[in-house]
Structure 1
Amino acid sequence: MACRDDDYRFLPIVDAISAINQNVNLVGVVLETSIPRQFKGTDCFCTVKIIDESYSSPGLLVNCFGENMEKLPSVHSAGDIILFSRVMIKSHCGDVNAVFNKKISSFAIFEGKHGTQFLPYQASANFHPRDEDNKFLDCLRKWLLNRNPDESISLFGLNEYLPLEDIRVGEHLTLICKVLHICKVQENKWMAFVWDGTDAPRANMRAKKENEIENLPPLQLEPTPLPRDVLLKFPTIGTILRVVMEDDNQGLQLLNCDRWVKLVNVKCEKYAGLWRCMLMPSSKLQYLSDTEKLISESQRNYEKRLTLKRRREPFSVHLPPPSSMMTETSYTEMPFVTLMDVITHPKVTGKFKCAVRVIAIRPFQSEDFCSPQGIYRITLTLEDATARIHAFLFAEDSEYFFDGYPSDRTLKRTRNALLGVMIPSGRSNEEQQCAQRNPPWVQLCLKSYYTDKNDKWGTRKYRIFATKVVD
């Protein structure tokens, strides 16, 4: 039966779910939480799913309300233990859950199976610890420790996820990644940057001319580039995925940076050829311990990649060896680096070799490649798995790139090949503009420089050199 206010004891979850419309005390292991959100009126809201030995599947959902997001439970890791006092058991459409009332309920959160202390790392203001709490914490910790590793993986669902290299357009996906950074991008709108050391799949694009004539594609999804001191902390290998919320909400800012998380029920989509992840109202969150086997394996795979000879080239099953690419460079012995390496290089001036895709060319019309004075002046938008940049192809570097001044027909063929435009003959103009394109990987030499010596970091530019088309 449920506890009375003067009867202090915890109910096993299997018994609590029968105590409809009664206040109970619960202690359980946290499976997952939701992203905090603004609820109707002034309240903030999140959910916490808990289990115990009596009810390890599917778990009991506790709906938590607070005056602000800071007063909601903030669980450090899946597997931590939370204690709830005086929560109401409710039933709705056959589903049973518990409701945390901000006026009478209380909570405290403790470290999980590896914890040795009985002091909570977060507690509500009205929480009053009792010595009796310790035996319940000790029993749950022993239960978790006695489970074998395979059972633990099943318990927290860590075997049901996609690495970033396997993400796809669609909903109800689960990702495991590390939160690198969080920033405000608009009023009441935040963006998180996550990473797992792998390269997201290439995104096909449309060949619509106006997109490449009137506007070069964006270099990032955030309105302005991140500060340099933030970029310097990012890994230079692997895709950094942008994460946003479906609605305007400030709950994303409460994510803990430098932590591995499991994001459940998210939607991945492509915007301007860039991948982004959308958190929906149904999305859930698990913070993971760095000691988890999957996290350790991800870190080892990343460190192994750093040791490979071609470690800085994109990890793509379609990436050809340099000798078979449609371009070649004069710096055959120069190692490949990523565009993130180029962007974060400690010196403004430098020379680099990259494997990239050309996703846009301006001007688009080949007859406009040269100025009225006969000088090449072209801007290429380049991308790899780590970043995008605009790079200039200018004057003598262009002459070397195109082998002089070929016919307009040859320039068009080269342009289409670089952009991955494959248009069968006989198609209408509308069909040509809407055709899918998949730019190939090419190797390029890049030179970074600045145009204003008094503002070295703010005016960093990039120029293609020592590169020519061979096919």
Structure 2
Amino acid sequence: METADHYKFLSIQDAMKCINQKVNITGIIVEFGLPKQSRGTDYYCTLKIIDQSYQTPGMCVNFFAESSKQLPDVVERGDIVQLCNVMVKRHGDEVNAVFNKKFSSFALYNGKDNIDFAPYQVSAKYHPRDVDKRLLAELRKWLLNSQLIQDSYAMLRDINEGLHCNLICKVLHCCKTANQERMMIFVWDGTDLRPNSIIAKLEDEVHNPLPLHPELVPLPRELLCTFPTIGSILRISYDKRIESKHLKLLENDKWVKIVNMHLEVHAGLWHGVLSPSTKLRYIRNDDDLIQQRQRLYEERMSWNLRRMPFWSFPWPSYVTDYEFASLTVIDHDAAPLCTLMDVLTHSEVTAKYKCIVRIAAAMPQSAKDFCSQRGIYRMRLTVEDPTARIHAFVYAEDGETLFDGYPSTSILTQKMNSLLGVKPCDDSTVPKCASRNPPWVQVCLKSYYTSKDDIWGSRRYRIFGTKIVVRD
């Protein structure tokens, strides 16, 4: 087959037959990756394109350039790329095209069916031709009728560990991690992340406690106060091979599409990871998928129980109870539920809250150490809900209320195990199973400073007015 001239555009199917020849192709972009640096000095990226002649699996086009700015900066999946003088190569069973910075050119166009035929990005050697408009119009019409570009986007409540997912979310904040090696991104969509089993030994809490957040250094309270108090906030980091300048979509208060993000769980906390194969896409504020998420959030805000964790419906367990508590302390029936983010960002101290949480860890671990030598309860519990994880202390008379006095060590152990989700293993030689799934329980919390003079110090939290009820 003859090499395509400067004015002839081939279909992808025909172009794939022109091995080791230069061709001109126009195709619809179905995949695109972030720029990466090659082993030399060049930068490269890959697009996958389709047209009417070749829809599955698509043809890969590899781009090489002296800087990342010279590579295609695709706005959205479904946009159109026009390629001139790209070389067709075979690698094993695969055939792809290679964009050479010395003689190839490209132009990127909006893939939507409209009257605008102006490219939004062109390479240095690009020259417009009259044939461009006809090809664009044909591809746009075919794409509109075929409805091929339909991605599935999860909500935070839908994601699972170890999977790669597509996510539509609102960026709340971006910052450097403590070691300055990575950026951390905080995103939200108004839904609650799924609770994870706690895979940690209870006795490790003394020397290796569960972290309260994925970031090494906690965010300042004034920043936390700008975050939503309902709905989970997912922390996302990205590989240091990705240059931060390529993440320009991640502006605060902007909605974005994140495609092919990996989900991990560390110490029971969700964490997202962007890799070089992750794609980022612009999204308009009037996009139907954004409108859908905002409607769901507004619907949730209309509920009386809007602050109840999604995963605790229809109601938390009955491991704890309020029935004994004095209504002069807190009106348990009238007081609204609070999330832990409400607690963290509340403007006043001392304040009292009613929350639905899980108890992820306790220190000390052994029931015989719950009280000091003077017989005073003193414990630290790690408390979590979909919005945050905090430490809450149990002290003195609050411990007497929680455990209903000073029962035997075996009863104390039984009560604490019910709170922590600890179940005996089948093998009697193994004292406790490693994986725990703590129940959702109702607790009363109050905030305080460590001393009257510590008005600028860290807030502390105590559990009060709450009783563990062990039912046969």
User: How high is the TM-score relative to the length of structure 1?
Assistant: 0.84
The structure 2 residue matched to 1:297, chosen from 285, 292, 295, is 292
Amino acid paired to 1:435: A
Mapping of residues 20-59 of structure 1, within 5 Å? 20-59=19-58
2:267 pairs with 1:259? no
Cα deviation for residue 358 of structure 1 reads: 0.5
* Change in CA separation of 1:227 and 1:19 when aligned onto 2, cut-off 3 Å: farther
Alpha carbons of 1:320 and 1:456: their partners in 2 closer, same or farther (altered >3 Å)? Answer: farther
Post-superposition shift, 1:220?
1.6
The residue identity in structure 1 corresponding to 2:168 is C
Q: Which residue of 1 aligns with 2:376?
A: 375
Cα distance, 1:86–1:439 mapped onto 2, change above 3 Å: same
Deviation at 1:437, TM superposition (A): 1.4
Q: Alpha-carbon deviation of 1:439? A: 0.6
8 Å contact from structure 1 (residues 356, 383) kept in 2: yes
Shift of 1:228: 4.5
* 1:3–1:352 CA distance, 2 compared to 1 (3 A): farther
**How do residues 209-358 of structure 1 correspond to structure 2 at under 5 angstroms?**
209-228=202-221, 230-245=223-238, 248-251=240-243, 254-255=246-247, 256-257=249-250, 258-264=254-260, 266-279=261-274, 283-284=278-279, 292-316=287-311, 319=313, 321-322=315-316, 324-328=318-322, 330=330, 331-347=332-348, 350-358=351-359
| Counterpart AA for 1:327 | D
Please list, as runs of the form range in 1=range in 2, the aligned pairs for 1:11-160 lying within 5 A after superposition: 11-113=10-112, 116-129=115-128, 133-145=132-144, 147=145, 151-152=146-147, 155-159=148-152
Query: CA–CA distance in 1 between the matches of 2:89 and 2:60?
Result: 10
Are 1:441 and 2:440 an aligned pair? Answer: yes
1:184 corresponds to 2:180? no
| Residues 1:395 and 2:389 are matched in the alignment | no
Q: Shift in Å at residue 34 of structure 1?
A: 2.0
* SS of match in other structure, 1:170: coil
Offset of residue 66 of structure 1: 3.5
* Partners of 1:198 and 1:238 within 8 A in 2: yes
The SS at the match of 2:78 is coil
Superposition CA RMSD, Å: 3.3
Deviation of 1:288 after TM superposition, in Å, equals 5.0
Shift in Å at residue 131 of structure 1?
5.8
- Deviation, 1:31, is 1.6
Question: Is the CA contact (8 Å cut-off) linking 2:88 and 2:95 kept in structure 1?
Answer: yes
Q: Percent identity?
A: 48
Tell me how far 1:423 sits from its aligned partner: 0.9
Q: 1:144 to 1:414 in 2, by over 3 A?
A: same
Q: 1:231 to 1:74 in 2, by over 3 A?
A: farther
Partner Cα distance (2:347, 2:222) in 1: 11
SS in 1 for 2:431: helix
CA distance in 1, matches of 2:183, 2:15: 38
In 2: Cα distance, 1:69 partner to 1:366 partner: 60
- Unmatched 5+ stretches in structure 1: none
Shift of the 41–229 alpha-carbon distance from structure 1 to 2, 3 Å rule, reads: farther
CA distance in 2 between partners of 1:62 and 1:419 (Å): 53
Partners of 1:453 and 1:68 lie apart in 2 by 58
**Cα separation, partners in 2 of 1:102 and 1:299, compared to 1, 3 Å:** farther
Equivalents in 2 of 1:456, 1:132: separation in Å? 72
The aligned counterpart of 1:420 is: 421
In 1: Cα distance, 2:47 partner to 2:221 partner: 37
Give the Cα separation in 2 of the matches to 1:61 and 1:286.
19
Q: Shift of the alpha carbon at 1:235?
A: 3.6
Q: TM-score, normalization: structure 2?
A: 0.83
Once the two structures are TM-superposed, the CA of residue 381 in structure 1 deviates from its matched residue by 0.9
Paired residues in the alignment total 456
Larger Rg: 2
* Distance in 1 of aligned mates of 2:340 and 2:186: 17
Residue 410 of structure 1: aligned partner: 411
CA positional deviation for 1:217: 0.5
Residues 454 and 158 of structure 1, relative CA distance in 2, 3 Å threshold: farther
Distance 1:290 1:116, change over 3 A: farther
